[in-house]
Structure formats: structure tokens, C-alpha cells
Amino acid sequence: MSDPIVQLQNVRKTYTLGASEIHALNGVSISIERGDFVTIMGASGSGKSTLLNMVGCLDTPTSGKVKINGTDITKLDDDKLTTIRRDNIGFIFQQFNLIPTLTAIENVEIPMIFSRVPQNLRKERAMRTLEQAKLEAEYAYHRPNELSGGQQQRVAIARALANEPPILLADEPTGNLDSKTGKSIMELLVRLNEEGTTLIVVTHDQKLTEYSNKTIVLMDGEVSNDIY
Amino acid sequence: MISIEDIQSNMYLQLAKRNLKRQTFRTVLAAIGIIIGVIAISSMGILGNSLKMSVTDSFGDIGDKLLIYPAPGEDGVTEKQIQQMKKVDGIDAIIPAYSTGDRVEYKNSYTFGSIYSIEREDLEKLAEVEDGQFFKSGSTDCVIGSSIADNLELRVGSKIEIGDSRLRVVGILKERGMGFDIDADTGVFTSAQMYEKMYPGEGDEYDFAIVRAEELDKVDDIKEDIEKLLNKKEEVITVFATNIILESINEAFKSISLFLMGIGSISLLVAGVSILNVMLMSTMERTKEIGVMKAVGASRKDVLTMFLLEALLLGVVASLIGGLFTIGAGYLILSLVVKNTSYLFSLATLIYIFEGILFGVATSLIGGMYPAWKASNMRPLDALRYE
Ligand SMILES: Nc1ncnc2c1ncn2[C@@H]1O[C@H](COP(=O)(O)OP(=O)(O)O)[C@@H](O)[C@H]1O
Ligand SMILES: [Mg+2]
């Protein structure tokens, strides 16, 4: 068996606000295998986003160890974190977070620019990825403000897929969508997982845990149970 | 190879363009600052240069001449010395002259002028006749400068009085401007015979001689050679090279140009601060966007490039517009200050416009540096959380 693709060992994250300390993560150890579909659940403020950001190399732990695809990121500087993130992680946000000045297809091209994909390949690949995310081709040249929430999230998913990362992270991806649209977005994510991408989703949706092969429930920065 | 198309479809450039368009009003204000700065710098440079050109022009083509005066204590420049000087290399002409100052009368009015005895062929080398002709050798006729003609309302054929002598004006010289060799505009030129009649006994030694060099860069050598040759034993003559004057005029006006451009650059400084301000505002507004960019793989260098490109684009466009407007502004300033717009169409103008554009672009880049650096160093998480 190969190494786990994501591995956290006794990870702590402490924020200091004035005199008080907040332990957003309080000794979390998890390991996620290639191809896993992991749901992270827990009350608001329990540390779900903090955990996801850690896996996404947007943040580093106060103590403990985080290994992504074999690399220990705990001690890396900003530039090295950026490279690891660029090559391994696709991020999907609750707020979609598309660049408002760019069209759908250009938003998908952005990560490819940063990974230096030649220009003549970019457009074509972006188009294919949008198709994969089930955005109708006619919307490819629309700006985000001309798209519905569901369409925007599809663009965001396509953007996350642009560099074909082995890990997809989604922080409440359906939180801003109505239930019907949310369901179709979830179905899309599940299918991507079935095609081989490791998927980690923060969600409040109990139903989703049926699809996932692992659910992590957080409570005050600690893993409260670990269901297989 | 990078083609025009590549540049046009370059996403960084597209991004820069669109981000600038997002806040059109603010961008235009910042651009106006740069435009004004570029106009100020280059038109001040052009003004300084035109002032210089108008002064050097009014001195005529003096640079290639050397003036030979008797050294202090000597009576004059002798014929023998003139012959000796002919041996020096690079000399185009040696023009010996007698001169004195006197009262020139016509009817009931008078003025003061410089009276010269210069051979007719020599005078032809120094000045042009506008009206009439040069005097004949040995005649009692004279040729006068344009300002004497104006002052006394003289025409060809008028008879002027100098001391007890009456001279007929046969020619009036073209206005030549100030000079260090002869005062052509206030001069009265006549033959050696007539001069001797007017000022008897002064005709043994010349008052001075004008030496004209074949080329401007031979002037210094000629000066050295003449001094070596004639002042071997004792100092008998003083050589004055007029190119020194040109050089000091050039020096003086270089400082004036620099000073004027310095004043112009203050407005560019203001423009730079406004760029800084605008870019800083847009990094604040786009904090979240920067966070997203970093989250999807933008390195610090990528973000830095994006913001600098924005500043560069703004700077280049505004500076080019400023350069274009400078031609109009330069025309206006020159017609008001120097009253001669022909100086606008010179290489120097082009250089100053180019300099202005360069400074404009540099200012934008410098103004954009801090905001770009700040944006690139934002931590993605902080940026994402920012609302
Ligand atoms: N940058 C920060 N500074 C201070 N406190 C923070 C910061 N980020 C998160 N926290 C705190 O850490 C805890 C966990 O936050 P988070 O991971 O966002 O929870 P969740 O996503 O589960 O709602 C919360 O109490 C939150 O207030
Ligand atoms: Mg959260």
C-alpha cells in the first residue's frame, strides 16, 4: 500500500487574540488515502475550515506535522507552499470567489497561467474542463456576474480542476446554493471522486456522508469520532 | 518568438487592462497626473533648449573665429605678425582691421558707431550686404550696419558725417546680431585710404585681427600654435578664441534646462504619489481577489508582475499621450516666451520628449512598486477572509 496522500500528526493551530488563546485545532491526527472521499462535519467554529486550509497549504500548523503527497509542509516558506498548492490542490470555496473581471473560461485559465501551461493549450484545456464541470459551452464567455450561483460554482470547480490536481478541497461548496442546485453540484463532485480524485468536503449535509468513505466530525478543534 | 497577437492575448496584460478599466475615473485621474508631469518635464526641457538656441543664434557663427589683440603694453598687431600667423595650419582667413569709435552724424541727428577699416574682400567674409553694394577699394564711400541705418534713417546714397569727413553710404549690411569679432550692426566700414584720411597717423599697426578657422575643432590648436609662434620671446599678442563663449553659453543653458526640468519633475513627483495612492487603493479593494489568485497557485512573483504590469501599462499609455501633447504645449510656450517656434522641430525636442516619456513610465513603475510588493506579500488566508 502506498503512503497516505494527506497525513496530519497531532496538529495544533492556536490563534492569539489579545490575552486569550483560541485552539482552533487541538491535536488532530488523520490520514487520507489516495482516492478517498472524506466529509468533514462539525458545528460552526469547530475548526473545519482551519483543517481544510491546513491541507490546502494555505496555513501551517502551530505544532504537529502536515504531509501532503509525501512532502512535509510544516516548515515551508510562502513560495514553496504556493508550488505545492499549485501542483496538488484544487480549492472550491463557499463564495465561489471567481475573478469578476474575467470570463468563465479565463477564470479557468488562471491556474494554468501560474503553472506555466503554454497559451495555445490553455484555451482548449479550459474548455474541456468547463465541459467536465458541466457548464454549458455558451456560458464560457460570460463574466461571473452574468452567471447563476450554480453556474458560478461549476466554473469554480473547473478552475479547481484546471491543473488536474490529485486533491480537491471544498469548503461548504453548496452553502450558497439552493438545495436542487446544491445536489447537482454534489453529484458532480462525487463523480469526480469516482474518476480518481481524492475529495475532501466540509459540509453540513448529513446525506453526503452516505457517499463518502470516511467522515471526520470535529468538535472544539478535536476529532470526536472517526467513522469508516 | 513573441508576436503581437501573443502580447494582445497575454492574460496578465488583459488583467491589467481590465483592472484599470474597473475604476475608470480613478485611472483617468492618475493618468492625467502623469500626462501633465510628462508635458511639464519635456516642455521645460524644450524651453531651456530653445532659449539656448535663440541666444547662440543671436551671436551668429562666431565659434570658428579667433581674435588677435595686442598684448597689454603693445601698440597694435603688426603686418609682420600677420605674415607670421599665415604659417599656422588650419586657418581659413586672416582679417586685419583698424577700428575706432566715433560720432556719426546725419542731418540733425547723430549716433555712435564703430568705424572700421577692413579690406573689401575681407568684409565680404564677415557680413552680407542687404541693400546696395560693398565700397570700392580706395573710395570715400562706406557701408553701414543695419542699426545705424535704422537709427539715422539712412538709405543707400545718404551722406553721413564723421568728424570733418563726409562719406557716401553705398551699402547697408544685413542684420547679423551681436558678435565678438566686429559690431556689424553698429559699424561703419570704409577703405584704408579713407580711414587714414579721417584718422591720420593711426595706420601703422592694426588694432586687431580676426582669424577664421577652417573647422570649429581646429580653433584650440590654432590658438595654441599662434601663441607659441608669436609669443615666443615675450607676450606681444593676446589670442581670444570665441568658441569659449559658445562653450560657456552651452554650460549655462544646460544648468537652466536642468533647473526648468527640475521644476517640471515636481509635477511628476505628485503624479507618482497619486499612482501610489491609486494602486494602494486597488490592492486594498482587491485583497480577496489576490487571496484567490494565491490560493489557485499564484506565487509572490506572479502577483508582483500583475500589479507592476498595471502600473507600467498606465504609465506607458499616459506618458505617450503626454509626449504627444508636449508638441502642442511646446509650441505654445515657445511662441509666448521665445517667440520663435522653429526651435520646436529639432532633434533636441525629440530627445526631451523621449526623456519626458521615460521619466513618466519610470515614475509610474516606482509608484506602483510598493503597492505591488504589498499585494504580493499578502498571506492568502488573510486575504481570503477579508470582506
Ligand atoms: N485568523 C483567525 N484569528 C483568530 N481566530 C480564528 C482565526 N481563524 C479562525 N479562528 C477561530 O478558530 C476557530 C475555528 O474556526 P474555523 O476553522 O473557521 O471554524 P469552522 O470552519 O468549523 O466554522 C473559531 O473559533 C474561529 O473564531
Ligand atoms: Mg468554515
B362 and B278 within one domain: yes
Mark whether B367 and B267 lie in a shared domain.
yes
Structural domain containing residue B38 = 4-58+247-385
Buried b (16+ CB within 10 A) or exposed e, A201-210: bbbebeebbe
Same domain, B48 and B189: no
For B165-194, the pLDDT digits (tens) are 899 999 999 887 767 778 888 899 998 888
Domain count, chain B: 2
Render each residue's pLDDT in chain A as its tens digit; 228 residues.
568 999 999 999 999 988 899 999 999 999 999 999 999 999 999 999 999 999 999 999 999 999 999 899 998 998 999 999 999 999 999 999 999 989 999 999 999 999 988 888 999 999 999 999 999 999 999 999 999 999 999 999 999 999 999 999 999 999 889 999 999 999 999 999 999 999 999 998 888 888 898 999 999 999 986 554
CA dihedral of B258, B259, B261, B264, whole degrees rounded to 10: 170
pLDDT over 60 (residue B20): yes
| Best CA proximity match to A61, nearest among A28, A8, A7, A13 | A13
CA–CA distances in Å: residue A136 to residues A145, A158, B97, B244: 16, 12, 97, 80
**How many Cβ atoms are within 10 Å of B228's Cβ, its own excluded?**
10
Is residue A48 within 6 Å of ligand 1 at its C-beta?
Answer: yes
Of A155, A96, A110, which Cα lies nearest the Cα of A130? A155
Among B185, B213, B241, the domain boundary falls at B241
pLDDT given for residue A165 in this prediction: 95
* Mean pLDDT for chain B overall: 86
Q: Does residue B212 have a pLDDT over 90? A: no
Confidence of residue B72 (pLDDT cuts 50, 70, 90): confident
Q: Is B295 touching A (CB cutoff 8 A)?
A: yes
- Residue B159: strand, helix, or coil: strand
A102 shares contact with chain B (CB less than 8 Å): yes
* Per-position DSSP letters for A66-101, written without gaps between them: EEETTEE-TT--HHHHHHHHHHHEEEE-TT----TT
**Distance separating alpha carbons of residues B336 and B334, to the nearest angstrom:** 5
Same domain for B290 and B175: no
Query: Is the domain of B126 the same as that of B231?
Result: yes
Q: In a 3-state reduction of DSSP, which class is residue B23?
A: coil
Is 80 exceeded by the pLDDT of residue B254? yes
Taking an 8 Å cut-off on Cβ atoms, the answer to whether A119 and B300 are in contact is: no
Reported confidence tier of residue B387, pLDDT bands at 50, 70, 90: low
Q: Does B355 lie in the same domain as B263?
A: yes
**pLDDT for the residue numbered A151:** 96
- pLDDT the model gives residue B247: 80
Instruction: Say if residue B225 is in the same domain as residue B98.
Output: yes
Q: What mean pLDDT comes out for the span B209-229?
A: 86
Name the residue among A188, A193, A185, A184 with its Cα closest to residue A213: A193
Scanning every residue of chain B, which has its alpha carbon at the shortest distance from the alpha carbon of A157? B296
Q: Tell me: do B217 and B232 sit in the same domain.
A: yes
pLDDT tier at B315, thresholds 50, 70, 90: very high
B199 plus B277 within the same structural domain: no
> Is B362's pLDDT higher than 50?
yes
Residues B253 and B209 in one domain: no
Q: What confidence tens digit (pLDDT) does each residue in B119-135 have?
A: 888 888 888 888 888 88
Q: Please, are residues B91 and B212 in contact by the beta-carbon 8 Å criterion? A: yes
Last residue of a domain, one of B241, B267, B285: B241
pLDDT exceeds 60 at position B1: no
A167 CB neighbours in chain B (<8 A) are none
Whether the pLDDT of residue B67 is over 90: the answer is no
Q: What is the pLDDT of residue A228?
A: 43
- Is the ipTM here above 0.85? yes
Q: Are residues B80 and B100 in the same domain?
A: yes
- Name the residue of chain A whose CA is nearest to B23's CA: A101
Q: Starting at the edge strand that comes first in sequence, how are the strands of the sheet with A71-72 ordered?
A: A20-32, A6-17, A63-68, A71-72
SS3 content of chain A, % helix, strand, coil (to 5): 35, 30, 35
Q: How far is A216 from chain B (nearest CA, A)?
A: 23
Same structural domain, B206 and B69: yes
CATH fold for the domain made of A6-224: Rossmann fold (3.40.50)
Is A153 touching ligand 1 by the criterion CB < 6 Å?
A: no
CA A32 – ligand 1 centroid, Å: 23
Question: Which chain B residues are within 8 Å of A79, Cβ to Cβ?
Answer: 299-300
Average pLDDT of the segment spanning B199-227: 84
Taking the centre of ligand 1 as the mean of its atom positions, its distance from the CA of residue A49, in whole angstroms, is 7
Please identify, among B217, B241, B265, the residue that sits at the C-terminal boundary of a domain.
B241
| Per-residue model confidence (pLDDT) at position B386 | 64
